[in-house]
Amino acid sequence: MKGALFLGWRYLAHHRFKTAVLLASVTLMMFLPAATRLLVADSAKALTARAETTPLLIGARGSQLELVLNALYFHAERPPEVSHQLLDEVQKTGLATAIPLNTRFRTRGAPIVGTNLDYFKFRQLMLSDGRMMGLLGECVIGANVARSQQVGVGDYLVSSPETVFDLAGVYPLKMNIVGVLESSGSADDDAVFVDVRTTWVIQGLGHGHQDLEDAGASKAVLSRKEGAITANASLVQYNEITTENVREFHFHGDTSGFPLTAVIAVPPDDKNSTLLRGRFQEGTLSGQLVIPASVLGDLLETVFTVQNYIILGLVMLSLATIAVIILVFLLSQQLRRGEFFTLKRMGASRGFIAVLVASELGFVFLGSLVMAALLTWGARSYATQFLLSLMTL
Amino acid sequence: MRNILVILIVTLLIACTEKEPGGQGPVTAQNKPMVVTSNCPLYFFSSEIAGDLVDVRFPSIEGDPAMWVPGGDEAIMLQSADLLILNGAGYESWLSFTTLSGENIVDTTANVQSMLLPIENTTVHQHGPQGKHSHQGTAFTTWLDPELAIEQSRSILQAVTQLKPDQAELFKTNFDQLEKRLRQLDQSLAQSFAKLAAQPVVFSHPVYQYLQHRYQINGRSLHWEPGIEPGTRDWIELGKLLQAHPAKLMVWEETPLDSTRGRLTEMGVQSVVFNPAANPGKPTDYFEMMNKNTDQITAPK
């Protein structure tokens, strides 16, 4: 018995190329359907986990999926906007805590998320260093941002202009980093958090400049008449908010009309949730209200359908591979008739030869099983995040 | 001798490690809810109502709390407070650039919006295509009107009662006493300002709107600082004002410079101090401060 196993092993070792081809074919045959199913299941779990902890989302009318993916993963380039007034209206209903989100801007590729302190409480985000943003222009960064960009408390980030050719557009804002968040294993690790009003400053809706009533700003004054001062283009505007100039920052117009990309609504219970949904359905409140888990459920349903087709194709491919492998073995038996005849002459029984052939097959399948398992483990460890980023782009 | 020494040492050790009777130390500030106020009068009202049951704090602010810019440590304190008691009426201009959670904020003038007075004569300016705008608002030294101070204290009462409902009765009793004292102050102020009759008065700074409104004071405001020597333009402005409004009394937030006071006396204008007590530098008894102010008000000779 041992001799048959030894001869089988030596046969495979001697015919390296043939063995390698067989191992690769069987490994892929096992790995592809299993990995596809597991990766999709893992991605779905990761996607729905964040969606399930976000009870309700409010945003502009349009694509529900875009609203959910942008509010949960901050990936949209130019998300549609709602006014801050909508947040006030939701808050006034008393049915839910409303958390603002403004995710239009980026810094060094990372999304700038304008929100308030309730967001950190809601997502249970903890600081690993520093403190929460306290003043306009201060930011708190995610763990991955700190690691990848080699920045921390005391450093600064500059907001990216929306278009490089917009020379007359909004000046980039230098934001001081006052805190770094602990890793949460979510999209929050890759974001830069600021007060929602800081995003309005980035957008140019608020700004800071010299006090026009101050004698030092006289050169910047174009005209003064009847209590109205008009400034010229030389008026110094600040591109960094400090404790010295923060008082000079102000917003023009009614801030209730200022933009948000989404509002997270956190009702205390199901009853309040239903009542709030009713307000949107009957049109008392404008915009659209969605349940993120439900929207992502629809997306995942499509993904699972596609996955089933892919797996069906892979199973058919596997069957074809098995047929080819059987054919290779049968042909190989024909070629090895002389070898088996010699073994018989040396006293080997028919059983011995059967064990020899079976062991060769067994070694190939065992080796393939181990390799497929290792590949699946590797794929689950590294590819889930990649797949998630593809799905939420 | 040796045994006696051992017994003595053991007895001393036991005595040193023995717990205090009852096993509980004094109640520390850590056990109490933290309430942060935005000026001294609110600190005083909150302390009077909540007593020792709440850790009432007023940040260490240099100068006028209305012009405060919180630093990092102060931002942490404001964010971690169980209650943030604000004056409202646009007083806390730092709210526009400070990140806070809305849950713990108490605007003590939110329920008396109709009693608030607008600030007039603000400058409109324009730069760029955004259009003309100004930085006007509402007069905010509301605590100078005892009637408004009572309403503000009532808001504090509601907030601390929600914070510690089991102490509602005690808080109400404290509030009733505070209300009684504020009504007495109201009478006292009314009597003092009655001495002025309708005589014209000049205020060094536009912070006395509520006092003026409540006690029907015939006053006009300048923008003079007690610690800064007025310039030629300021004196010309005052001269013009006195022609139309022949005041013999000028009310200051703090004692003016001797030179300013002397020149005003030469012009026949007597200087008195009525400190709004927003931040007298250290925690001060509101009534003590107001009584001191009241004593200063006399009809000009």
Residue by residue, what is the 3-state secondary structure of B54-71?
A: CEEECCCCCCCHHHCCCC
- Do the Cβ atoms of A134 and B133 come within 8 Å? no
| pLDDT surpasses 80 at A278 | yes
Q: Is the pLDDT of residue B246 over 50?
A: yes
pLDDT of residue A136: 93
Q: Provide, rounded to the nearest whole percent, the portion of chain A with pLDDT above 70.
A: 89
Of B78, B102, B125, the CB nearest to A228: B125
Q: Tell me: pLDDT of B125 over 90.
A: no
Task: Pick A162 or A302 by higher pLDDT.
Answer: A302
- Is the Cβ pair B123, A134 closer than 8 Å? no
Give the residue ranges of DSSP H helices in chain B: 2-17, 40-50, 72-80, 146-163, 168-194, 209-214, 232-244, 258-266, 286-296
Give the mean pLDDT of B92-109.
90
Query: To probe the interface with A, which of B127, B130, B132, B134 has the most A CB atoms within 10 Å?
Result: B127
Mean pLDDT of B136-165: 95
Least confident of A231-240, B92-101, B247-256: A231-240
Residues B104 and B249 in one domain: no
Buried b (16+ CB within 10 A) or exposed e, B176-185: eebbebbeeb
Q: Are residues B176 and B80 in the same domain?
A: yes
Q: What percent of chain A has pLDDT over 90?
A: 46
Q: Say whether both B224 and B284 belong to one domain.
A: yes
Among A272-276, B46-50, B224-228, which is the least confidently predicted range? B224-228
Average model confidence (pLDDT) across chain A: 87
Going by pLDDT thresholds of 50, 70 and 90, the confidence category of residue A385 is: low
Measure the CA–CA gap between A175 and B37, rounded to whole angstroms: 29
Q: Does B124 map to a domain? A: no
The helix or strand, by DSSP H or E, that contains position A58, with its residue range, turns out to be strand A56-59
Together in a domain, B176 and B36: yes
Of A209, A220, A227, the CB nearest to B123: A227
Comparing alpha-carbon positions, the chain B residue that sits nearest to A253 is: B133
The answer to whether residue B1 is domain-embedded is: no
- The one-letter amino acid at B92: E
Contacts of B163 (CB under 8 A, 6+ apart): B33, B35, B54, B82, B83
**Best mean pLDDT range from A1-5, A147-151, A199-203, A354-358:** A147-151
Q: Give CA B163 to chain center in angstroms.
A: 22
Report the pLDDT value the prediction gives residue A166, as an integer from 0 to 100: 62
Query: pLDDT digit string (tens) for A173-204?
Result: 999 999 999 999 889 999 999 999 999 999 88
Percent of chain B residues topping a pLDDT of 90: 72
Which residues form the domain of B211? 195-296
Q: Place A387 in a pLDDT band, splitting at 50, 70 and 90.
A: low
Q: Using alpha carbons, select from B269, B238, B251 the residue that is nearest to residue B207.
A: B251
Out of A93-97, B14-18, B106-110, B226-230, least confident range: B14-18
Q: Which two tokens stand for residue A351?
A: 């059983």
pLDDT at residue B122 greater than cutoff 70: no
Per the CB < 8 Å rule, is B96 touching A250? yes
Contacts 24+ apart (CB under 8 A), A124-128: A124/A184, A125/A181, A125/A182, A125/A184, A125/A188, A126/A181, A126/A182, A127/A179, A127/A180, A127/A181, A127/A182, A128/A180, A128/A181, A128/A182, A128/A183
Q: State residue A317's pLDDT score.
A: 87
**Which of A99, A135, A240, A251 is the best residue to mutate to test the B interface, defined by the most B CB atoms within 10 Å of its own CB?**
A135
Q: Which of A295-304, B15-24, B102-111, B224-233 has the lowest mean pLDDT?
A: B15-24
Q: Is the confidence at residue B253, as pLDDT, over 60?
A: yes
Type of residue at A99: I
Give residue B268's pLDDT band: very low, low, confident or very high (50, 70, 90): very high
pLDDT given for residue A243 in this prediction? 86
Same domain, B154 and B98: yes
Residue B247 belongs to a domain: yes
pLDDT for residue A234: 67
pLDDT single digits (tens) A126-144: 999 999 999 999 999 999 9
Whether B281 is covered by a domain: the verdict is yes
- Chain A residue nearest residue B79, CA to CA: A134
Q: CA B56 → CA A32, B185, B283, distances in Å?
A: 65, 24, 11
Nearby residues of A79 by Cβ (< 8 Å), 6 or more positions away = A59, A66, A67, A70, A103, A104, A261, A262
In a domain, B10, yes or no: no
Q: Which of B75, B123, B128 sits opposite A213 (nearest CB)?
A: B123
Domain ends where: B185, B211, B243?
A: B185
A134 CA: distance to closest CA in chain B (Å): 5
Does a structural domain hold residue B129? no
Is residue B44 over pLDDT 50?
A: yes
What average pLDDT score do residues B285-299 get?
A: 89
Query: How far is residue A345 from each of residues A338, A342, B61, measured CA to CA in Å?
Result: 11, 5, 105
Q: Which residues of A touch B98 (CB under 8 A)?
A: 134-136
- What pLDDT is stored for residue A226 in this prediction? 61
Tell me the shortest Cα–Cα distance from A117 to chain B, in angstroms: 6
Residues in chain A: 393
- Return d(Cα A155, Cα A192) in angstroms, integer: 13
Q: What is the pLDDT of residue B133?
A: 44
Task: Report yes or no on B123 lying in a domain.
Answer: no
CATH number of B42's domain: 3.40.50.1980
B101 and B220, same domain (yes or no): no
What's the whole-model pTM score? 0.78
For B202, counting Cβ atoms within 10 Å of its Cβ (0-12 exposed, 13-18 middle, 19+ buried), the class is buried
pLDDT band at A227 (very low <50, low <70, confident <90, very high): low
Closest CA to A209 of B73, B23, B36, B126: B126
The yes-or-no verdict on residue A118 having pLDDT over 90 is: yes
Supply the pLDDT for residue B13. 40
Give residue ranges of B with CB < 8 Å to any A CB.
67, 69-72, 74-76, 78-79, 93, 96-103, 121-128, 130-133, 135
B92 within a domain of the structure (yes/no): yes
Residues B199 and B103 in one domain: no
| Residue B69 and residue B35 share a domain | yes
Residues of B whose CB is below 8 A from A220:
127
> What integer is the mean pLDDT of A257-283?
94
Residue B6, Ramachandran bin (φ over 0: left; ψ between -120 and 50: alpha; else beta): alpha
B39 and B159 share one domain:
yes
Q: Check residue A253 and give left, alpha or beta (phi > 0: left; psi -120 to 50: alpha).
A: left
CA separation for the pair A354, A350 (Å, rounded): 6
Secondary structure class of B102 (helix, strand, coil): helix
The burial class, CB within 10 Å (0-12 / 13-18 / 19+), for A74 is buried
CA closest to B130 among chain A residues = A252
Q: Tell me if A228 and B123 make a contact (CB, 8 A cut-off).
A: yes
Paired strand residues for A179: A130, A140
Comparing B123 with A17, which gets the higher pLDDT?
A: A17
Q: Kindly identify which residue of chain A lies nearest to residue B134, measuring between CA atoms.
A: A228
| Same structural domain, B24 and B148 | yes
Q: Are A171 and A237 in contact (CB under 8 A)?
A: yes
Q: Express each pLDDT in A280-338 by its tens digit.
A: 999 888 899 999 999 999 888 888 888 888 888 888 888 888 898 888 888 888 888 88
Smallest CA–CA distance, residue B149 to chain A, in Å, is 27
Inform me whether the pLDDT recorded for B24 exceeds 50.
no
**Average pLDDT value for residue range B52-61:** 93
Q: How many CB atoms lie within 10 A of CB A327?
A: 10
Please give the residue of chain A at the shortest CA–CA distance from B94.
Answer: A247
Helices B40-50 and B168-194 meet at what angle, rounded to 10? 140
| Residue B204 and residue B96 in one domain | no
State how many domains chain B has: 2
* Cβ-count burial B242-268 (b if 16+ within 10 Å, e if not): beeeebbbbbbbeebeeebbebbeeee
pLDDT at A232: 67
Better pLDDT: A170 or A57: A57
Residues B206 and B256 in one domain: yes
Extract the tokens encoding B130.
Answer: 């955004």
**Which of B154, B185, B216 lies at the terminal end of a domain, its last residue?**
B185
